[in-house]
DNA sequence: CGTATTCGCATACCAGTGGTATGTCAACGA
DNA sequence: TCGTTGACATACCACTGGTATGCGAATACG
């Protein structure tokens, strides 16, 4: 119908380059779906956002969505991957600015706390992530994106005997969980001093690791 | 139809006492809905369980469910309240067996870790809870049921100068998050030694609080 | 250059879901 | 005894994620 011609026309207008109009259009559609669903999921949560609203915001149809993603959950997974990659990069960047392994750990943890305190990331990364994909899968993605840095940093410090010899996996999980929950708490906190207090408490927890 | 008479008959059969047949039947229906939905939510998660399955397992109808609860989310909230109350009681019981405030904290934390390592509690308490009700509401319920014990224990220790003076709220959140995530990790762990390692690491974290 | 093919969607449709409005019968109060 | 009410049961609805199919422009091919 007229509706269809309208959609087709719009798509045709926007990409006039010769080499790979198809590929370019494809990437753009995918990017718009990712961006809009990320925005909506972050704002109102996975369950409260319908596919209809997503495709409307992205100005495509459900057909496009299901052409690019396996379904609602897979779309969410793609969004989560993107978010976690960003956070992981921020953590890694902060750590790399330090040369001393111990300072790398401290800086990385503080950077993680800063990043995950942003409400838009929280709902996707910390709330809906485990519920939608299941904890095991969420954990695997988290490990691949950012918790890996934590585990590695701890392993280096144990190797260098800065931290007493002990399995690093449980330690990494304890610390990761502590930071996750603290970030969620901070986001709903009213007292602006809570951030400083939490940073201080986290720092004390980390420094305590050096003494057996 | 016949179906209806069947349901009515069953209900009539089971409660023959004179005083308050109504009230008793009411409680029983409510209890069955709670028990079955808890079982199903724990096994497969909130989103994967439909009301149809719940009422079928409980041998009632959706009418009964909506008579007792405001909807699916409120039913879940009631289940979560029950679960958290049980965990809170276990934590409190473990703490009360110790007389020394410090030992109370340690025992309470270890009991919490033991309790929340049970997979059936995890999905409801730690995964679906925040996602279904929102983190703020989940947090309020958690605080009322068990995190309160943690906050109080820390406050006592700060007051007694066993722990350096500092705000207890951030500390409680860090520790609570650490235990939550550790419990989730343990549930999906294969190495049986992980439990002991995690307990040891948690204990070290707690003991480290005593040194500034 | 024509044209067959494939790719990237758009449309139409469906089964199942949470939620609601209404009906109904047994227990209770008077 | 009898009207009232409480505790459901039934029937129905709007909507949601998911699927099957259709179609037209870009590309591969002779």
Q: What mean pLDDT is predicted for residues B50-70? A: 98
CB atoms B130 and A131 under 8 Å: yes
Please give, one letter per residue, the 3-state secondary structure of B134-163.
CHHHHHHHHHHHHHHHHHHHHHHHHHCCCC
Burial of B97 (0-12, 13-18, 19+ CB in 10 A): exposed
Does position B116 have pLDDT exceeding 60, yes or no?
yes
Q: How far apart, in whole angstroms, are the C-alpha atoms of residue A151 and residue A147?
A: 6
Verify if strand D has an atom below 7 Å from the CB of A20: yes
CB atoms B204 and A188 under 8 Å: no
Which B residues 46-75 have CB within 7 Å of strand C?
49-52, 62-63, 66, 71-73
Find the closest chain A residue to B132 by CA distance: A47
Per-residue pLDDT tens for B161-207?
999 999 999 999 999 999 999 999 999 999 999 999 999 999 999 99
Band of residue B9 on the pLDDT scale cut at 50, 70, 90:
very low
Please give, one letter per residue, the 3-state secondary structure of chain A.
CHHHHHHHHHHHHHCCCCCCHHHHHHHHHHHHHHHHHHHHHHHHCCCCCCHHHHHHHCCCCHHHHHHHCCCHHHHHHHHHHHHHHHHHHHHHHHHHCCCCHHHHHHHHHHHHHHHHCCHHHHHHHHHHHHHHHCHHHHHHHHHHHHHHHHHHHHHHHHHCCCCCCCCHHHHHHHHHHHHHHHHHHHHCCCCCHHHHHHHHHHHHHHHHCCCC
Domain residue spans of chain B: 2-69, 79-208
pLDDT of residue B102: 96
pLDDT of residue B211: 79
Of A122, A131, A166, the CB nearest to B127: A131
**Which of A123, A126, A174 to mutate to test binding with chain B, by most B CBs within 10 Å of its CB?**
A174
Of A167, A178, A197, the CB nearest to B167: A197
Mean pLDDT, consecutive 10-residue stretches, chain A (212 aa), reads 46 51 93 98 98 98 98 98 98 97 97 97 98 98 97 97 96 98 97 96 94 70
pLDDT of residue A11: 53
Domains B2-69 and B79-208 share a fold: no
Q: What mean pLDDT is predicted for residues B19-38? A: 93
On whether the A2-69 domain is CATH 2.60.120, my answer is: no
Cβ atoms within 10 A of the Cβ of A14, count? 11
Q: How far apart, in whole angstroms, are the C-alpha atoms of residue B156 and residue B209?
A: 13
Distance CA B55 to C1' D3 in A:
32
On whether the A80-208 domain is CATH 1.10.357.10, my answer is: yes
Shortest Cα–Cα distance, A164 to chain B (Å): 11
Note the CATH number of domain B79-208: 1.10.357.10
- Percent of chain B's residues with pLDDT above 90: 88
pLDDT of residue B113: 97
Verify if strand C has an atom below 7 Å from the CB of A11: yes
pLDDT of residue B1: 39
């Amino acid at each position: 119908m007229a509706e269809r011609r309208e959609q087709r026309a719009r798509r045709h207008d926007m990409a006039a380059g010769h080499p790979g109009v198809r590929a370019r259009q494809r990437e753009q559609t995918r990017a718009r779906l990712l961006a809009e669903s990320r925005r909506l999921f972050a704002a109102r949560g996975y369950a409260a956002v319908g596919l209809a609203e997503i495709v409307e915001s992205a100005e495509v149809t459900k057909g496009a969505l299901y052409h690019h993603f396996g379904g609602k959950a897979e779309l969410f997974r793609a969004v989560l991957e993107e978010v976690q990659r960003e956070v992981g990069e921020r953590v890694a960047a902060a750590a790399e600015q330090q040369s001393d392994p111990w300072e790398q750990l401290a800086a990385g943890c503080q950077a993680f706390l800063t990043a995950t305190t942003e409400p838009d990331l929280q709902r996707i990364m910390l709330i809906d992530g485990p519920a939608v994909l299941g904890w095991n899968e969420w954990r695997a993605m988290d490990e691949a994106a950012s918790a890996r840095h934590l585990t590695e940093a701890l392993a280096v410090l144990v190797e260098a005997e800065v931290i007493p010899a002990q399995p690093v996996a449980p330690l990494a999980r304890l610390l990761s969980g502590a930071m996750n929950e603290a970030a969620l708490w901070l986001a709903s906190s009213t007292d602006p001093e809570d951030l400083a207090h939490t940073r201080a408490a986290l720092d004390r927890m980390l420094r305590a690791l050096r003494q057996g």
